[in-house]
Structure formats: C-alpha cells, structure tokens
Amino acid sequence: MLDITPAKKLTATIDGLYKTFGEGFETAPTETLDLTFEGISGDRHAGLTRGSGGREPWYPRGTEVRNERQITILSPGDLAATAAGMEIDRVAPEWIGGNILMSGVANLSFLPAGTLMYFDGGVTLAVQAMNGPCRFSGASIAKHYPDREGLDLLFPKVAKRLRGLLAWVEKPGTLRVGEVAKVAIPEQWIYA
C-alpha cells in the first residue's frame, strides 16, 4: 500500500552568515552573502562545476561534475547536539566551514533533497543533500580544544546526521543576517 504524506511548509531565520576569505577551510562572519548561479561570490566552493572528492570513490578524484555543493547550511540545534556529544562547550559554525546558520527548523540536517528555501530578499536555495561529517572538520574543531585528544575522529561519529545541509543557488541575490525564509519540503512517500 502506498501512503502519501503531503508537502509541509516551515519557516527559518538566518542567525549568521559566513564565507571563506582567501585560503583555508574555515569561514568568517559577514553581514551579507552575494550569491550567483556559481554560489557565494569569491568563496572557495563557488563554481558551476567542481572536482569530485574522496566521498565519491566511484569517480577518479578530480573528475569534473556539476557543483551542487555550493553552500553549507548549519543549525544552532545540530551544533549544540554535536558539542554535547563531544563533551565540549560549543562548535562554532566557522570552524566547520558553515556559510549560513539557520534557526527555527528542528533537525535541520534531515530536510530532504529537493527542499526549497525562499528567502524574503528574493534568493532561493535548493537542498541537495545532508552533509557528511569528516575528520578534517573534526581536526578544525580540535584546534580550539588543545587539551583534548581524539576530537578529530570523534566528530565524524558524533555528528552523523547533525552536519547540516549542502545546497545550491536556484535564484541568485543577496542574503542578510536576520532574513526569514519559507522552507518547502517536497512531497514525501512511504512504501508500506
């Protein structure tokens, strides 16, 4: 039997915006983010295409594929749950390369692919996938807790399904801190 769950609408608010400045994995706060079809202008993850990486072992590394991983979206709730699981005070969005900190949606990391976020200022983002936590992000967190050992490898275990979302730009424009978005989840379904 096929049971259809109707689409749901939620609302979220931008608590913080961050981008990379120059080299390096970490991001730094910014009041606005300018988005094109390539992603965040001047950011290291911008581009219409990207080279494939270690998470895609079915491609030779560096294979040119469409870039659907332009933007990293995190939530305060998921970050707090990650910090609690790692028994540390906090995980800052910047440490793990976050671009948008969004509050108001519980279990943000579980928003499915195809979810659309319509921001009041005119930007639309499309969710491509839940992000996967890696030891490089873990190492970035570990740098802030020099008295603790093994945080780099603890992060991938603890942050599974708490690592936020990867998204791409459906409609370009500028995001601002404090801006609100309507979040439209696509029709989901259950085989039972």
- Compare residues 28 and 188 and give the one whose CB is closer to a copy of itself: 188
- Restricting to residues 11-70, name those near a copy of itself by CB under 8 A: 37, 48-49, 58-59, 63-66, 68
Among 128, 131, 137, 140, binds a copy of itself (CB under 8 A): 128
Per CB under 8 A, does 72 bind a copy of itself? no
Q: What's the gap between Cα 71 and its chain centre?
A: 6
Least Å distance, CB 86 to a copy of itself, is 20
Which residue lies nearer to a copy of itself by CB, 22 or 60? 60
Give how many residues touch a copy of itself by CB under 8 A. Answer: 29
Task: Choose one: 80-88, 97-105, 112-120, 173-181; the region binding a copy of itself (CB under 8 A).
Answer: 112-120
- Contact between 163 and 109 under an 8 Å Cβ cutoff? The reply is yes
Side-chain-facing half-sphere of 112: CA atoms under 13 Å: 10
Residue ranges binding a copy of itself (CB under 8 A): 37, 48-49, 58-59, 63-66, 68, 110, 112-114, 118, 124, 126, 128-130, 168-171, 186-190
